[in-house]
Amino acid sequence: MTANNETNADTKIIRIRIKRQDTPDSQSYHQDFELDYKPNLNVISCLQAIAARPVTVENEDVTPVVWDCNCLEEVCGACTVVINGRVRQSCSTLVDALIAEGTGTASEPILIEPMTKFPVVRDLFVDRTRMFENLKKISGWVPVDGSHDLGPGPVESPESQEERYNLSRCMTCGCCLEACPQFQFDGDFVGAQTIGQTLYFNEHKTGAVLKNERLEVMEQVGGVSDCGNSQNCVKVCPKEIPLSEAIAKIGRQVTVHTVKQFFTGKS
């Protein structure tokens, strides 16, 4: 391997720079690693190779880089990191595409960093608990208790199924929150992911029984009115979830709910 490759085609070496952090409270730092190029590598396979041989370009033995992953097929959301400044999944990001963008060389390494909107546990592994807590806040479930036979569920129209199928594809990856200017590390705003899931459960015939409770969360500080409508979220969602439409629909549902509360005095 060489520390000075400029063209991947000539040297068949890829340079990767990783932002590391040893503990949740310690200072971050960067380390560079080099790997032999192979076609069709994804970023996770590079991280695996670095874990197998954690030696920097300065030939220093270091601790293996820590990251999170599970499904390896862009379904679980766990491997989300910021690669070359764009939030995305390490399992579905191909190194060939990053090289085609001009990175992977000694002067322009592929830069892999943890998301900034969640606490770092270690290196690239962040704590995404906040998203799951927000789903609890909006009662992100269909309330069907018991193991007894409930009979057939309510009939859903094909249009509703289609709309909810799109929303159901959310994998709680956090991309939409990382890209959102309104979603802050310590802020109240729940972000596009929770708003999308609010619509998902409100539009379910049985899930709608908790619609008012969900809309009460959405009408408070941190709810849908905190969205600044920049639409960064929809641009980075790997599942192409129609987040702008979801935000607009929940905004309308909140308005109707607030007007009803005003006239009836009931929630």
Please report, as ranges, the residues that interact with ligand FES according to CB under 6 A. Answer: 69-72, 74-79, 89, 91
Residue 60 CA to residue 27 CA, distance in Å, equals: 19
Q: Between residues 114 and 174, which has the closer beta carbon with respect to ligand SF4?
A: 174
233 binds, among ligand FES, ligand SF4, none (CB under 5 to 8 A by kind): ligand SF4
Shortest Å distance, C-beta 96 to ligand FES: 18
Q: Which of ligand SF4, ligand FES, none is residue 71 near (CB under 5 to 8 Å by kind)?
A: ligand FES
Residue 190 binds: one of ligand SF4, ligand FES, none (C-beta under 5 to 8 A by kind):
none
76, interface contact from ligand FES, ligand SF4, none, CB < 5-8 Å by kind: ligand FES
Nearest of 206, 69, 211 to residue 151 by alpha carbon: 206
CA distance 264 to 267: 8
79 binds, among ligand SF4, ligand FES, none (CB under 5 to 8 A by kind): ligand FES
228 binds, among ligand SF4, ligand FES, none (CB under 5 to 8 A by kind): ligand SF4
CB of 207 to ligand SF4, least distance (A): 18
Interface with ligand SF4 by CB under 6 A: which residues?
A: 77, 170-176, 180-183, 191-193, 196, 227-233, 237, 239, 241, 243, 247
In this complex, which beta carbon is closest to ligand FES, that of residue 78 or of residue 126? 78
Least distance CB 77 / ligand FES (angstroms)? 5
Between the alpha carbon of residue 170 and those of residues 149, 154, 196, 240, the distances in Å are 29, 23, 8, 9
Judged by CB, which is closer to ligand SF4: 54, or 119? 119
- Nearer to ligand FES among residue 2 and residue 70 (C-beta): 70
Nearer of residues 70 and 258 to ligand FES, judged by Cβ: 70
Nearer to ligand SF4, 17 or 130 (CB): 130
